[in-house]
Structure 1
Amino acid sequence: MGIAVDTFFLKPDAQGTLQAQIQQMIAEGILLGRFRVGEKLPSSRKLAEHLGVSRITVTLAYTELLSNDYLTSRGRSGYFVSENAPVPPSYAPPERAEETVDWGRAIARRYSGGDMLLKPHDWRDYSYPFIYGQTDPTLFDHANWRLCAVRALGQKDFASLTADYADQDDPLLIEFIARHTLPRRGITARPQEILITLGAQNALWLAAQVLLNHRRRAAIENPGYYALSEMLRRLPCQITPLNVDADGLPPDLVPDETDVIFTSPSHQSPTTATMPLERRRNLLARAHEIDAMIVEDDYDFEMAFAGAPSPSLKSLDTDGRVIYVGSFSKSLSPGLRIGYIVGSEPFIREVRALRMLTLRHPPGHIQRTAAYFLSLGHYDTQIRRVSAALKQRREAMEKAIAEHGLTIAGRGVYGGSSLWMKAPEGVDSYELSRRLIDRSVLIEPGKVFFSGPDEPTEYYRLGYSSIARDKVATGIRYIAEATELFDF
């Protein structure tokens, strides 16, 4: 393995000749364990060009290190770190001098410390992971995804792998979304009305940045998607949380002064409520009445194993005021980070420009791999397999919950991959989740989904996309037993 030439640099305040500085730089790298036995150093020519010194200076430094047994020479192959060099067993970065920067003053805007739901990195090690949004590796089509990735690496697709798309996206992926994905939701859109994003969350952020400012008001669902509420709190805008009911967001609660309405009508997050068709029409009428935009987060519509989903708000919109957000994170994998946003061309033009200023575009290779996986039919096959598995797990969940007397506060009419639960009054779901860790059970406390000062503590979410069907009954029993131990 070769040591990258970019690893080397001369310190502006270093003492001694250039040769001595180069010797010291390499010796320190070996002594600190950054350069390991057998690793090849850059050629004297490359290192000289990189450092801006003469080649003879580098050659003399290498020769001195060779004589001190820090380096060894292998004929015309070059210089390598010697086996006799005093290399420590592992690399330990040197202690830094005490920083003098006042970060409390230097940081102008804070993004940490928000109320976010963090999933343990070792969730796979738990026996009963009732967590939402993770992928069951037994359901993912590894073989065909690998074949599509290899095909996307081929010479034919070299441009999609290496080119800078600037503000554009992979045309094959855009075409598939326009011709196959969106029509399933009753949506027609031209390529210039579609933008690829790094998942639904990135799409929501882009929409919020373009549609909101300090004079405008956003209406959000309560409880609702916690990342959206945290995102909006950090924008110069006003926020109105609206309490949802069994049918989702009530249109008559939307204030007159609202500029943007954020809603998840297919599977409300986190209650999974499905907004009926009549309410969808009423919400569109209300938005038209007050001249508000609607951002429709349709993140989970593919998981409609219990029946055909209701028409999207975007498909019912005749004004062009609905911005539609979709994602492949739940149906393929959350780590893929491929989503899309659909809207009228003037809106997409601004979102496209904003995306270019921040991340330019999602990686071309990922886009092309996804395009092949979708267009070759592997995606539809996986959706059918995942839907069948989720249906079985949902049935096992509901059966076990009924047997142990737990309460479901919300379930998606057409499917989904989670249940919204309510514990008896007096139960703190954070404390409940802490107690369940000892039994290798993971649940998601619900307080993070609520906005306002009086956030209830008895709600929690149970996902079933990551837990095997045969583990469900035991995991639910453990939850029931832990709940009974609370003093009511």
Structure 2
Amino acid sequence: MDVHVSLVGRKDLAGQIYRQLRAAILDGRLRAGEAAPPTRELARRLAISRNTVAVAYDRLVAEGFLESRVGAGTFVRDAGFLERERPAASPLRPRKVWDEVGVWPARMPGITWDFRAGLPDVGLFPYESWRRIMAGRLRPSALGDPAAAGDPAGLKELREAIARHVGVSRSVRAAAADVVVTSGIQQALDLVVRVLLEPGDVVAVEDPGYPPVRMLLRAAGMRVRGVPVDAEGLRVDALPDDARAVYVTPSHQFPLGMPMSLPRRRALLEWAHRRDVVIVEDDYDTEYRYGGRPIEPLQSLDDGGRVLYMGTFSKIMRPVLRIGFLVAPPSLHRAFRLARYVSSWHADLPVQAALARFIDEGLLARHIRRSRREYEARHERVAGLLGTLFADRLAVVPSAAGLHLSATLPDGTDDAAVVRGALAEGVGLFALSEFAVDGPAVPGLVFGYGAVTLPEIGEGLRRLRRVLG
């Protein structure tokens, strides 16, 4: 183990080394059985005499902190040292907003039937193809100049591939220059906040809606206002007059699942134009559509340059592969590049290069076609069983896209209690009330089918039926 030892001045050098190594042992930074640095190496690093280091080691051996093993070196002795008390508490305190921000979702141990929303089936991903491409991008010849900084907006070849992909699959109007590669939806939204909003600005979000978005906005000092949704999506007539931005999921409302109707989308664009408001469109999973007409994104309907379009590859590929993107008009290109630079510079360059190749070889499109067939079968199975097993308890919200379905429970039902009872049966899912913002929480359940296989769905839902009685 490499131990950091620093010297202050040139007096009592052996004593300084002794005290620092002793503190490392007592603090647990050096654990029993771990090797102390060889005296010759430590002396070279500190530019001092080896005898000086040996004096400090001899004292530590004499006091039982270290032991010498002939031919092997010097090691921390297992003598049952009690760890020292930590230093006095720091006077530093976080801003109060961090007392209100938590981690979502909470851990749910013991799940056998996983109906949590937002999780893809990682078993469907073509790992061999991805491994081949990644291996090629990690060769020294492919990594390029180690001193190259990289474009904060992302590798040019990936931005070109993303622009082509969203143009074909989602009818998004974008050139490579309009694309900023991010580590996911939340970083894209964070960039929007940095570039366009001021602390105290009002941001309207759907109610119910995605919890991490409002957590991020509140942590950034925004005032978050929930706006109710109905069968046509976000209610434009309920938007606050003082909103500076609106965050929406129009293609597949999260968590309820309905798309925003065309008249409602046009009304939102007109409202934003009159009020000088930015629209943030989160199109998180609409590659997976199972019927009906394709939903035209707000971005393609927008003639005024007011829509910022965000997407992610987490739902298509793997959540741990943190790659997303933001599509912005030319007037914001420079600011978004700078915001990306000052926050985290750029995403993982080999992964960016691999994803560009993955898209260009047609592997992403092939994976989407294959996984869409599987998810459609699961969608139909879940919807069918909810209609038969739960006809007296659940009202399914119509949806023909994505990786989840929502259903409401009778008024007054404690959906959180239902979720706890389901977890005791090994069934994991989310309560609809978790997604409420300002309005009254509608009781219900959200059924994800990305992480539960087709054969498992029936047994998982039957166990849930027993919980509901």
TM-score bracket for the superposition, by shorter chain length = 0.7 to 0.9
Letter in 2 for 1:433: V
Report the TM-score when normalising by structure 1: 0.85
Q: Is the 8 A contact 2:158 2:355 kept in 1?
A: yes
1:467 alignment counterpart: 452
Partners of 2:70 and 2:17 in 1: CA distance = 17
Corresponding residue SS for 1:218: strand
Q: Does 1:94 align with 2:83?
A: yes
Q: How far did residue 73 of structure 1 move?
A: 6.7
**Counterpart pick for 1:107 among 94, 97, 111:** 94
Q: 3-state DSSP class of the match of 1:304?
A: coil
Shift of 1:426: 2.2
Question: Aligned partners of 2:368, 2:150: CA distance in 1, in Å?
Answer: 30
Matches within 5 A, 1:197-346: 197-214=182-199, 216-306=201-291, 309-346=294-331
Contact 1:66 1:72 in 2 (8 A): no
Please tell me whether the aligned partners of residues 163 and 364 of structure 1 are also in contact (alpha carbons under 8 angstroms): no
SS of the aligned residue for 1:320 comes to coil
Structure 2 equivalent of residue 126 of structure 1: 111
* Alignment equivalent of 2:164, drawn from 160, 179, 195: 179
Letter paired with 1:231: L
**Structure 2 letter corresponding to 1:34:** L
Task: For 1:259 and 1:29, locate their aligned partners in 2 and report how far apart those are by CA, in whole Å.
Answer: 52
TM-score, normalization by structure 2? 0.88
Instruction: Say which of 13, 23, 37 aligns to 1:41.
Output: 37
Q: Which amino acid aligns with 1:441?
A: V
Of 12, 15, 19, the match for 2:14: 19
Aligned-partner SS, 1:371: helix
Cα distance 1:300–1:95, how it changes in 2: closer, same or farther (>3 A)? farther
For structure 1, the 5+ residue unaligned runs are none
Which residue matches 2:364? 379
Amino acid at match of 2:369: R
Report the 3-state secondary structure (helix = DSSP H, G, I; strand = E; otherwise coil) of the residue aligned with 1:138.
helix
Q: CA deviation at 1:192?
A: 2.7
Mark the runs of 5 or more structure 2 residues left unpaired by the alignment. Answer: none
1:325–1:340 Cα contact (<8 Å) kept: yes
Aligned-pair CA distance for 1:33: 7.5
Q: In the aligned structure 2, how far is the partner of 1:214 from the partner of 1:423?
A: 38
> Which of 317, 342, 358 is the matching residue for 1:357?
342
Report the alpha carbon displacement of residue 130 of structure 1 after superposing the two structures with TM.
Answer: 0.7
C-alpha deviation, 1:377, in angstroms: 2.3
Residue 280 of structure 1 deviates from its aligned partner by 1.9
Q: Partners of 1:296 and 1:29 in 2: how far apart?
A: 51
CA shift at 1:145, angstroms?
A: 1.8
The alpha carbon displacement at 1:439 in A equals: 0.6
**Code of the aligned partner of 2:189:** L
How far does residue 110 in structure 1 lie from its aligned partner after superposition? 3.0
Letter in 1 for 2:4: F
How far did 1:433 drift? 1.0
Find out whether 1:397 has 2:382 as its counterpart.
Answer: yes
Q: Distance in 2 between matches of 1:88 and 1:348?
A: 61
Letter in 2 for 1:442: G
- Alignment coverage as a number of residue pairs: 464
Asked whether the equivalents of residues 122 and 318 of structure 2 are also in contact (C-alpha less than 8 Å), the reply is: no
Shift of 1:65: 7.5
Q: In percent, how many aligned pairs have the same letter? A: 27
The CA RMSD over aligned residues, in Å, is 3.1
Correspondence for 1:70 among 64, 67, 70: 67
Q: Which moved more, 1:342-351 or 1:387-396?
A: 342-351
Q: CA deviation at 1:248?
A: 0.9
Distance 1:221 1:195 in 2: 25
Partner of 2:369: helix, strand, or coil?
helix
Spell out, residue by residue over 1:102-149, the C-alpha distance to the aligned partner (whole angstroms, 9 max, x if none).
45xx32343243365324264xx5211110122323212222222222
Tell me what 2:406 maps to.
420
